[in-house]
Structures are given as structure tokens and as C-alpha cells.
Amino acid sequence: MSASQSVNPIDPAEALRLRSDFPVLRQQVHGKPLVYLDNAATTQKPQVVIDRIANYYAHENGTVRRGVYKLSEQSTRDFDASRTKVAQFLNAASPSEIIFTRGTTESINLVAATYGRKFIQAGDHILISAMEHHANLVPWQQLCLEKDAVLQVVPITDAGEMDMDAFDRLLTDRVKLVAVGHVSNALGTVNPIREIIEKAHALDIPVLVDGAQSAPHMSVDLQALDCDFFTFSAHKLYGPTGVGILYGKMKYLEIMPPYQFGGDMIHSVSFEKTVFAKPPAKFEAGTPAIAEVIALATAVDYLSAIGLDRIGVYEHELLAYATAQMLEIPEVRLIGTASHKAGILSFTLKGAHPHDIGTILDREGIAIRAGHHCAQPVMERFGVPATARASFSFYNTREDIDALVKAVRIVVNLFN
Ligand code: PMP
């Protein structure tokens, strides 16, 4: 049975009802109703998340872990409850394996700066893919430069899939870490992450998964996946900016040195010596983004009530609908035609630069992304300077896709 048959689908009426939860979507842009199709960059926030932040600052604000008064104690409880909620959402073995950072970028930098600096030696290999976001490329590249280690890159096929034969060849016992994206933000490709993890583990190699584009769009079970690190950003999961999640298996968190030093990450301090706290506190120096972490729990509840499996199926239907229509336009070139894709549609148009596409679509009220999507090597691989990218959410509808396709036809007529 396919995933789409096994879940009760989101129908158009429900999508419209869900859309009404997002106040920002009720506006007009250049006199046209806003069609927001840049969900891979950031998602909009439902009213419940906005209310949670406003309520926190209006009635609850108090720092965490330090106070013995009611406001501080309640904030600490809610902050810790968010950690537990995220652990359950991802099916992590323990809330202590969830570290709050500022975003996916900081999470990956944290692993590179701690695990990487301690365990990667000269001559070691770090294996990434050619479709990584710069956030999962530059930290490893810089670590390799510092350590005289070697960054190995698994190439991608013309369809935008990881070349698994090349992966098998590059996965030698010199590899000390595999770091790959679950879903490509530039191509929409869903990588065979289970296979990658199983093969790496067969050689005792730890795997970091960049889940920035997967966690908001499919259910993730970390214990089933068995990856060693997993990360995503709250702002792409209908939550606030400024919060990232880093999951790490406790066996690694225990042997990793701290990332930053300061308050909250210590057990005891004297002028001669500091004893660090246990994970996760060891990796959370300083006052965290308290309101935002607490509101992330609200976003997780909101999404869980809809159901991640239903969201994935619905967004995939939108992708199929959009892909079929775009393929009817001869000037369109789709970049990323993998057999297994999430709701991301990257394309170029004959005669028009992606920035022109983005600007003209904006005049029609349609927000898409135009650029290299922080994945310049992907652009190079496909021989384009940039692409236009539409990315979907459960609050998008077929009417949004129709508006997109109509506007793309306007661009085609202007430039050809
Ligand atoms: N990885 C992927 C696949 C992404 O799509 C993004 C955001 N575009 C990031 C990492 C970085 O996320 P952030 O900017 O929230 O740190």
C-alpha cells in the first residue's frame, strides 16, 4: 500500500481551513492575493504560535534555570517541556539528546567544531554529497583545511539523485564522518537516508543528517533511522526564527567537548578549573531563546495535530500537479527530477533570468525564491547560475499552483 493510500488525505476544504490559521497569508501584494511559495526558505507562523510568543512576553517572561521565583520556575518548566516535546516528535531516545541552537547552520557548526575538531585527524575523509546546502558543506570544508583532512563529495546524477555507486566507492574505512541532507533544498530530492546510514554504520562511521527540509514535511523517527546527529530549524517548521535543534546520540554528546563556554553550561567553576555540565546543558552556554523555544512546542503540537504523514502526501500531490503543468510549457527546464521528491520545484525558463522570473511573479502576488539557494555547486552541476524555486506547504492549494503557472506563462511571453 502506498503512503497516499494509507493516510486520510488533506482535502481542499481542509487546506483552506488550515490556511486561515496563518494571518500573514490574508494580505494582498501589489493588489493581488498573496500566494506564498517560498516555504523551503521559511514557513509562515500559525496564530497559535504568534499568540504563544506574545503571551509569554506579556505574562510569563522570566529567565530559565536561574530564578527561585514563580516566573523563572514556570519558564524553566515550559522550556524543558519543549525539549521533551521535540524528543517525542522525532522519537529520540531521551530529551537529553536534544540541544537547542540558533538554527541548522549553528547545529552543524557545533558538530564540526566539537566532534570534528576532536576526532578528525590529518588524512581522514569526511563524506558529503554534491547537493548539500552550504551549511552542510562549508563547515566540513573548513574543518578539512584546518586538519589536513579530505572532503570527499558524492556526485549527483542528471536527475539530481545521489550516485549510490559512487557513494559505495567513496565509503572507505578512511571516512570518519558522513554528513548528508535528508531532502535537498535546491532540487527537492529525498535521499535514501536509511541505506546511507546502514552502509556507513557497517563500517562504524557516524552519520549526520541535515533535516532542515525533511522534518517539516515528513515524519522522522530517529530511533528507526539510527542516525548519529540530526538537525533542523524551527523557522522552517512553522515555529519562530532563532531556534535550531541538534539531536546527537548520547554516546557522542558525552565525549564531545563543549562548543562555547560561559554560564549555564557548567557544573562548577573556580579560577583554576571548570567542571562542565552534562549534555544537553554542556552545549547550551548563555541565555537561550526562551520564548522561541517554548513557542516551538506549540508549532510541534500544531503540526502533529494535522499529521506529518498527511502533510507529506498532500504536498507531494501539489508537487505532482505543479510538475505536470510546468512540463506543458516548452520553455521550462526542471532542475531536479528525482524519482523521490519532496514539495520543491526548481526550474529555469528559456530567455529569462530566474531573478526576472521572481520579480515578475512578485508583481502577480506570488512569492518564490530565485537564486542559487545556498547550493552553488548544485547550480554548477546543472550549468545554470540560479534557478527559480517554488516550494509547497499544506496551506497551499491547487489554485496557488494555477496562479504560479499562469504567471510563468506571462514571463515566457514577455521574454520569448
Ligand atoms: N540545510 C538546508 C537543506 C537548508 O534548506 C537550510 C536553509 N535554507 C539550511 C541547512 C540552513 O538553515 P538555517 O539558515 O535555518 O540555519
Report the CATH number that the domain containing residue 170 is assigned in CATH: 3.40.640.10
Which one of 48, 50, 164, 374 is the catalytic residue? 374
Nearest to 288 by CA among 10, 114, 80, 9: 80
Q: Is 57 exposed, middle or buried (0-12, 13-18, 19+ CB in 10 A)?
A: exposed
Pair 292, 316 in one domain? no
**For the stretch 379-395, what's the b/e string if a residue is b when 16 or more beta carbons lie within 10 angstroms of its beta carbon?**
bebbebebbbbbbbbbb
Q: Does 57 lie in the same domain as 139?
A: yes
For CA atoms 311, 317, 320, 322, give the dihedral sign.
negative
End-to-end CA distance of the chain: 45
Q: Report how far residue 267's alpha carbon sits from residue 328's, in angstroms, rounded to the nearest whole number.
A: 63
Domain at 376, CATH number: 3.90.1150.10
Pocket test for ligand 1, best of 105, 128, 140 (most atoms within 8 A of CB): 105
Mean pLDDT by 10 residues, the chain (416 residues): 67 96 97 98 98 98 90 96 98 98 98 98 98 98 98 98 98 98 98 98 98 97 98 98 98 98 95 97 97 98 98 97 98 98 97 96 98 95 96 98 98 94
Whether residue 144 lies in the annotated active site: no
Among the listed residues 355, 390, 385, 348, the one whose alpha carbon sits nearest the alpha carbon of residue 370: 355
Q: Are residues 72 and 131 in the same domain?
A: yes
Residues 318 and 376 in one domain: yes
Q: What is the largest CA-CA distance in the chain?
A: 72
Q: What is the pLDDT of residues 212-250, one digit of tens each?
A: 999 999 999 999 999 999 999 999 999 999 999 999 999
40 and 87: one domain?
no
Instruction: Please tell me whether residues 280 and 318 are part of one structural domain.
Output: no
Residue of 39, 43, 101, 104 to mutate, ligand 1, most atoms within 8 A of C-beta = 104
Same domain, 55 and 201: yes
Helices (H), 234-345: 250-255, 290-306, 308-327
Q: Which of 239, 272, 305 is the last residue of a domain?
A: 305
Distance of alpha carbon 120 from alpha carbon 82, whole angstroms: 33
According to DSSP, residue 182 is labeled S
φ, ψ of residue 53 in degrees (nearest 5): -70, -45
Give, using CA atoms, the residue closest to atom 14 of ligand 1: 105
Which of 265, 289, 305 terminates a domain? The answer is: 305
Do 226 and 357 belong to one domain? no
Tell me: do 216 and 365 sit in the same domain. Answer: no
Q: How far apart are CA 33 and CA 217, in angstroms?
A: 25
CA distance 409 to 18: 29
| pLDDT score of 6 | 75
Cell numbers standing for residue 88: 517525542
The DSSP letter of residue 331 is T
The pLDDT, as a whole number, for residue 1 is 40
How far apart are the CA of 63 and the centre of ligand 1, in A? Answer: 28
Q: What span, in angstroms and rounded, lies between the C-alpha atoms of 235 and 238?
A: 6
Residue 235 has which C-alpha cell? 523557522
CA distance 168 to 179: 15
* 155 and 288 assigned to the same domain: yes
Tell how far the Cα of 107 is from the centroid of ligand 1, in angstroms.
10
Please state, in angstroms and rounded to a whole number, the distance separating the CA atoms of residues 22 and 44.
Answer: 7
pTM over 0.75: yes
Same domain, 153 and 236: yes
The string of pLDDT tens digits covering residues 5-16 is 578 999 999 999
> What's the 268 CA to ligand 1 centre distance in angstroms?
35
Provide the number of structural domains found in the chain.
2
Q: Tell which atom from ligand 1 comes closest to the C-alpha of 102.
A: 16
Closest CA to 331 of 229, 415, 235: 415
CA distances for 388 relative to 94, 181, 353, 378, angstroms: 40, 20, 9, 13
Report pLDDT for 5.
53
Same domain, 189 and 68: yes
Query: How far is Cα 187 from Cα 346, in angstroms, rounded to an integer?
Result: 6
Give the end of a domain, one of 305, 327, 360: 305
Q: Which residues line ligand 1 (CB under 6 A)?
A: 103-105, 133, 135-136, 181, 185, 210, 212-213, 233, 374
pLDDT at 2: 46
- Burial class of residue 32, CB neighbours in 10 A (0-12, 13-18, 19+): middle
The three grid cell numbers given for residue 273, joined into one nine-digit string: 578549573
Provide the domain limits for residue 369: 3-45+307-415
Note the pLDDT of residue 156.
98
Ligand 1 atom nearest to CA at 106:
16
